[in-house]
Structure 1
Amino acid sequence: MVFHRPLLLVSGAKRLKLLLYALCMIIVFILVIVYNWSTAVRQDSSCFIQTDFQSEARSLPKTLGDVLLTEPKPTPGKTIFFLETSCPHNPHSLQLTARQACAIESAALHNPNFQVFVLFASPRNHPQDNSSGINEPLIDAILSYPNVQLRQLNLMRYAADTPIDDWFKDGQLFRSSYMVVHISDLLRLVTLYRFGGIYMDLDVVFLRSMENVPLNYAGAESDTHIANGVMSLAPTGFGHQFAASCLREFQRNFDGSDWGHNGPGVITRVAQRICATKNITMMLKDRKRCLGFQVFERNAFYAVPWVNWRHFFEPQFLKETLEKTKDSFLIHVWNKHSYQHPVTVDSAYGKIAAQNCPRSYAAAGKYF
């Protein structure tokens, strides 16, 4: 009969070997995690690293035109911009979700005298190229509006000759813990610096026109913060200076470990300096105090706060939500929290989408 001695009775040398083996396994496990994380970061970074190569060969797909090089270019001060900064699983795939298409269509529908530019931060195939064989009815739906344009941008070229140029080349942005989010935060500021106009998140739905709203505005999200999901700046004068101040603030106080510090935090801190107060209520009441920059009350863009995002999607909140947003310019559905929630026809979002982005709503079918 063989008896197995407990670990405590094993010789000192064998105990040491077992402990060293366990330690080695732990180290290997940690290295695997670090490697996978760093590989994911490199892959995400490479999504945004572009060359100027654009194939004219028949065997290669044609890509979208560069926003700085392709006509028509955005009309300064009369363009609504959307940014798509994700890295597609299918490289260069030109796809939009139903909610993104709804945001774009509602902007084009309610603002026919403005251009609507959708900017992709990584290379995407031109919609006329169908080499993938994928049918994209949502792309067809938004391109049925004559004022919608799809473009891609080259990050290095886009940042060149702006106040962020030298800082961007340092690469700190690509070491952020929230790289894609912070790229989006930066690009919306660069876009308004270059062209002025209106920036919108892709999780909004326009309810009415904003063509006659004077430029230079954003909306309060709370009593302490101005949000950066809806921003407007004039292409010259005060608006251009405001955009430059935001870019300098972005790089001076950049924090790659904080999700919102470089987004809502930037425009909030710049507005506080310009308005000479940290009190959002005072900004709302006195536009002259802010030198012409208007901070809209929450009802304008964020009538439903993020903590109540379910109110857009659950039928029992239909009447309450429609009443709360009836005087809003648009709704913001907080996609960070709501993107997996199904949409039903008897929800507030379903009703609003059917009316304000009818072609996208129809094209999406049951997968809206």
Structure 2
Amino acid sequence: MKLHWRIDRKFNSKSSYKIFLITSALLLKLLLLILLYSYLAIHSKHHCDYLEDFPNLTSIFDVRRPKSQSIFFLVTPCKNVFTKRDACAVEAASRTNKNTEVFVLYTHPIRSGKKDLYLNAVLSYKNVNFIYLDVKKYIKGTPLEKLFHTRKLNRDFVKELLALLTLYRYGGIYLDLDVLILRDLKRIYGNFIGYDGETLNTSFMGFKNDTVAENYIFRIIDQINLRYNGENSVSPFITELIEELCDTKNLTIISKRQCVRYKVFPKEFFYPISSIDSKILYNKNPNENVFKIIKNSLTLNTFSKNHLNVEMPTVSSYPYVNIAKKYCPKVINTLNYI
């Protein structure tokens, strides 16, 4: 009775009381939706949705087996758009490695259409292949299957695991979509990774298609299965393997020598510009030193995902734009901004 008395005191009319009930119900419904969304985000197996029906791309299991010196990019569901800068990275890989097959592996439908001229520009290269990767089928019977079914994996970690599995299956080179290839990579095919000045960076790495490489990858995945604890990169696990192979924890020393058929390249080969310094690529003032810095590098990590808020006119003198004009001219010619 006390509760009713208090409500009656607060709402001196039936209409006010009705509004209160409706508002309370709506707020409760909103709260439940927020909680449900949060639960799904946290407890979704890979924090992303892998779609089984995929009508618009050929499955990797239905095409000729990729050669052991192929180049692979991965686009996971968490990244649901193939962007202009992604297209630039794919074109750069294709142009600088004309005799190498370039595969863009999608785990979900491409959200892109005829209006995206930059996509058509990339597809004009005969060595570029957009392929569907059915994750459930891809991991079945592999060392990753148990991990995917029993752990809650960070979304970035999922992508790197799929990259490792791809190199385990076929051999070749994997790179992130913000990495531009500047040279032909024939001379570096093998078991390698790059030192970025701080860590062994998994945004660009390679493995042969042989028993030695398979053993290395199996050992890495085995340790991940045993000790995964929410990491967002496989780098620490690769680092442990290489430190064991080289019998030292000094990455600077490791990057200057080859240890047991695994090469760690020094910073200047793959990461001439660091993540912190990458802002110079997105500064509208031209910087002639940039081309000097990357002159002898094989790749350039543009750290594009850190600069998504910067939209650069393609007729401007931004260092990124000048580099893109050289390495992805077809894509640039379809754009007003990148």
Compute the displacement of 1:31 (Å). Answer: 5.2
* Alignment-mate amino acid for residue 251 of structure 2: I
Which residue pairs with 1:254 in the alignment? 228
Compute the displacement of 1:285 (Å). Answer: 2.2
TM-score norm. by structure 2 comes to 0.84
User: Comparing 331-340 with 26-35, which one deviates more in the overlay?
Assistant: 26-35
Which residue pairs with 1:168 in the alignment? 148
Match 2:56 to one of 63, 74, 98: 63
Q: Measure the CA separation in 2 of the matches of 1:160 and 1:36.
A: 29
Match 2:185 to one of 178, 201, 210: 210
Match 2:173 to one of 185, 189, 198: 198
Q: Measure the CA separation in 2 of the matches of 1:255 and 1:133.
A: 39
Compute the displacement of 1:253 (Å). Answer: 2.2
**Matched residue of 1:310: which SS?**
helix
Q: Could you tell me whether the CA contact under 8 Å between 1:103 and 1:205 is conserved in 2?
A: yes
Which residue pairs with 1:245 in the alignment? 219
Q: Measure the CA separation in 2 of the matches of 1:235 and 1:282.
A: 27
**Matched residue of 2:190: which SS?**
coil
Mapping 1:117-132, distance limit 5 Å: 117-124=103-110
**Matched residue of 1:194: which SS?**
helix
Q: Measure the CA separation in 2 of the matches of 1:300 and 1:25.
A: 58
Compute the displacement of 1:205 (Å). Answer: 1.3
Mapping 1:15-26, distance limit 5 Å: none
Instruction: Establish whether residue 295 from structure 1 lines up as the match of residue 264 from structure 2.
Output: yes
Which residue pairs with 1:334 in the alignment? 303
Q: Measure the CA separation in 2 of the matches of 1:124 and 1:239.
A: 32
Match 2:117 to one of 112, 115, 137: 137
Q: Could you tell me whether the CA contact under 8 Å between 1:249 and 1:270 is conserved in 2?
A: no
Compute the displacement of 1:317 (Å). Answer: 6.1
Deviations 1:176-214 (A, max 9, x none): 4x32x1211211111111111000110011211112224
Deviations 1:118-157 (A, max 9, x none): 00012448xxxxxx97423122111111111110111111
User: Comparing 160-169 with 204-213, which one deviates more in the overlay?
Assistant: 160-169
Q: Supply the RMSD in Å over aligned alpha carbons.
A: 3.1
TM-score norm. by structure 1 comes to 0.78
Which residue pairs with 2:17 in the alignment? none
Q: Could you tell me whether the CA contact under 8 Å between 1:315 and 1:347 is conserved in 2?
A: yes
* Alignment-mate amino acid for residue 197 of structure 1: G
Unaligned runs of 5+ in 2: 11-24
Q: Could you tell me whether the CA contact under 8 Å between 1:201 and 1:229 is conserved in 2?
A: yes
Unaligned runs of 5+ in 1: 1-10, 19-23, 55-61, 90-94, 126-131
* Alignment-mate amino acid for residue 57 of structure 2: L
Q: Measure the CA separation in 1 of the matches of 2:202 and 2:286.
A: 26
Deviations 1:299-321 (A, max 9, x none): 11111111112111114462222
Mapping 1:86-165, distance limit 5 Å: 86-87=77-78, 96-124=82-110, 134-165=114-145
Number of equivalenced pairs: 320
- Give structure 1 regions of 4+ aligned residues with deviation exceeding 6 angstroms: 24-30
Q: Measure the CA separation in 2 of the matches of 1:246 and 1:263.
A: 8
